[in-house]
Amino acid sequence: MAASGRTRAFTLADVLVVGFLCLFLMLVTPIVAFYPGRSSGSRMTCGSNLSAIGKAMLIYANDYDDELPRTGGRTTQWGTTANWTAPHLWTAFGVQAVGSGGAASIGSCFYLLVKYCDVAPERFLCKYDKGVKEFKLSGRKDMPPNFELIDAWDFGPPEESYTHYSYSYHIPFGLYALTTSNDPGFAAAADRNPWIKSPAGDAGAFADFRPDAGVKGGTGTAVQAKKGNAAAHQRDGQNVLFLDSHVEFAKRAYCSVEDDNIYTISQNPVGGDPLGVPPPADSTCAPANRKDSVLVNDPVPQPRPRRLR
C-alpha cells in the first residue's frame, strides 16, 4: 500500500510532553555523569594514573637493585622531609655521612618517580580525592634560583606535600620494603588509606568495619565490609596496584596475598589478615611479616601549638 504522504500535526499536548522530557534529561544527566566516585569512568581515570606510577616503579627498580622507590639511607624512618629543596640527599632527609638515620615522607618516595623517571606530578592525583591539587613550582618563593622539578626531593614542604598526591604506598622503611622478587600478587600502592586523616577529612571509625562473613574470620555484612574501603570512590572500593604492575578496582580492602587487608597491620604473625589493626601514622609503623601489605600515606600534620604571649 502506498503511503499517504500526510503527516500528523503536533498538538499543544505533544509539545508540552517533549519539552518536559528535554528539561528532565537536562536536569538528570549531569547528576548521572558527574556523581563523584561511583562511575566506572572515574575509576578508570584514577586507575590509569596508578598504572603509570606502577610502570615507572618497575623502571626505577630496574636501575636500583630491584628495590621499589625508597628515599633516605639504610635506616631512614617514616617522618617528614627535612628540606625538600636541599642540594643533595643527606641534607634533604637528615641522613648521616655513613648513610644511616634520617626521616622521609611517603610523598618523597613517590617523588623519586618525578625526579628520576619523568612522571608528571599530575599523575599522582585522583580527581575524586578531595583537597588535593597538582604540585607546581610556578609562583613559589621558597626555592633557590633556577630551581626545577627534578631538583626537588618532595612535593613541597611538609605542611603541604600530602596535598599533592592521592595514593598510599606499602611502607618502604624498615625490614619489609618491597622488591620485584616479592609475590606478584602483593599490593604495592592504592587509593588513600581510610584509617589515616587526609585532606578529604578525618580517618574512618575502625569499629564500624568488619570483613564479610564469607572471608576467613569474617563476621560482617556487606555494609560493614565497605567501611574499610577508600573514601575517594564513595567506599565502593579502591584502585590497587599490584607488584606485577596490573591495576584493578578491588571491591574489598582485603585483596592482597592471603586475603590480607592492604590498609591494616596483620594480627597474624606469619601471614595475611582480612581485619588487622589500623597502622600508626608515624615511624613505628611496620608490617607484621613479609606477607603483610600495609599501604599508608602521609597524615595531615598536627597543628603547631600556639605560643603564649
pLDDT in tens, 249-270: 999 999 999 999 999 999 999 9
Q: What is the mean pLDDT of residues 45-56?
A: 94
**What percent of the chain clears pLDDT 70, i.e. is strictly above it?**
84
Q: What is the mean pLDDT of residues 49-78?
A: 96
pLDDT at position 13 over 60: no
Instruction: Give the pLDDT score at 42.
Output: 58
Instruction: Give the pLDDT score at 43.
Output: 72
Sign of the alpha-carbon torsion through 266, 237, 167, 130: negative
Q: Which segment of 37-51, 73-87, 228-242 scores lowest on mean pLDDT?
A: 37-51
The model's confidence at residue 99, banded by pLDDT at 50, 70 and 90, is confident
Q: Is 70 in contact with 63 (CB distance < 8 Å)?
A: no
pLDDT at position 118 over 60: yes
CA distances from 15 to 9, 11, 19, 285 (A): 11, 7, 6, 66
Instruction: Give the pLDDT score at 305.
Output: 53
What pTM was computed for the model? 0.85
